Amino acid sequence: MIEAMIFDMDGVIADTEPLHRESCRALLEKLRLDVAAILPKAYARSKREFWAEVIRENGLPYTADELTRWEFDLLIEIVKKSGLRPTAGLCETLQKLRGAGYTLAVASSSDRVYVQAILEMTGLKEYFSAVACGNDVAAAKPAPDVYLRALELCGAKAEQAIAVEDSDTGISAAKAAGLYCIGYDAVSDEKFRQKFTFADAVVHDMREVFLLIAAHFEEKKT
């Protein structure tokens, strides 16, 4: 029986990916690096992994932690000015899931300071009883660590939870943790389109998530 729904954040809870590209671009420019050559490598990866590669390939006198924190600082300022809103249909879906008795959680590779800022700015903080972040665990997605942490916080076993992810990296993490995973495919730019090969199901509208697991609601009521 399903007890918990665990949502990725970037690209699922809100369309933050363009803002991530903007913050990454801004930091690459500050570092006087080749934006066109390096920026595409950042997509669907943890920031620490990305910046570690940039440092290694360009001989920069920084640590991955330093550049990651710098970028998150830039990103939060960008988000504050963006008027960011939750993904269409998400609030409706969260209300229905919470009303049906599901525990709702976030599992993000991003740092907690940023995740909490997004949840507060979008008015979504009240919906989630558990938040697991990238800097809470040893390894970022596609490692299962952040999902295992989310399960621990929810008090649920893997077979009692469903994940919602928008990237192949995130889907791999959820599956490695043993979760059923719904792929959320809402990307219009073909450069960033994912394959969703390992997703158990794929939806194109957040409202479809509720419809897809409707059978579990009936199970919970019996």
Q: Is the pLDDT of residue 12 over 60?
A: yes
Residue 65 burial class via C-beta count within 10 angstroms: exposed 0-12, middle 13-18, buried 19 and up:
middle
Reported pTM? 0.90
What's the pLDDT at 63? 97
**Exposed, middle or buried by CB within 10 Å (0-12, 13-18, 19+), for 99?**
exposed
* More confident site: 64 or 215: 64
Contact, 121 vs 13, CB < 8 A?
Answer: no
Q: What is the pLDDT of residue 86?
A: 97
What confidence tens digit (pLDDT) does each residue in 32-91 have? 999 999 999 998 788 999 999 999 999 999 999 999 999 999 999 999 999 999 999 999
Query: What does the pLDDT read at residue 218?
Result: 52
The per-residue pLDDT for 188 is: 67
Q: What's the average model confidence in pLDDT over 186-195? A: 76
Given this model, what pLDDT does residue 222 score?
Answer: 45
Is the confidence at residue 220, as pLDDT, over 70?
no
Q: What is the DSSP letter of 156?
A: -
Q: Could you give the CA distance from residue 35 to residue 18 in angstroms, rounded to a whole number?
A: 15
Per-residue pLDDT, averaged over 163-188, amounts to 94
Using the CB atoms, write b or e for 23-62: b if 16+ within 10 Å: bbbbbbeebeeeeeebeeebbbbbbbbbbbebbeeeeeee
pLDDT at 186: 85
Please check the confidence at residue 170 and state whether its pLDDT lies above 70.
yes
Q: Top-level CATH class of 4-14+85-221?
A: alpha beta
Rounded to whole angstroms, the Cα distance separating 72 from 62 reads 15
150-184 burial by CB neighbour count: b if 16+ within 10 A, else e?
bbebbebebebbbbbbbbbbbbbbbbbbebbbbbb
Give pLDDT tens digits for 103-138.
Answer: 999 999 999 999 999 999 999 999 999 999 999 999
Phi (first) and psi of residue 179, to 5 degrees: -90, 150
**How much is the pLDDT for 216?**
56
pLDDT level of residue 157 (50, 70, 90 thresholds): very high
Residues 6+ apart with CB under 8 A from 50: 24, 41, 42
According to the 3-state scheme, what is the secondary structure of 34-85? CHHHHHHHHCCCCHHHHHHHHHHHHCCCCCHHHHHHHHHHHHHHHHHHHCCC
Q: Which pLDDT band holds residue 187 (cuts at 50, 70, 90)?
A: confident
Q: Identify the pLDDT of residue 11.
A: 92
Per-residue pLDDT at 205: 95
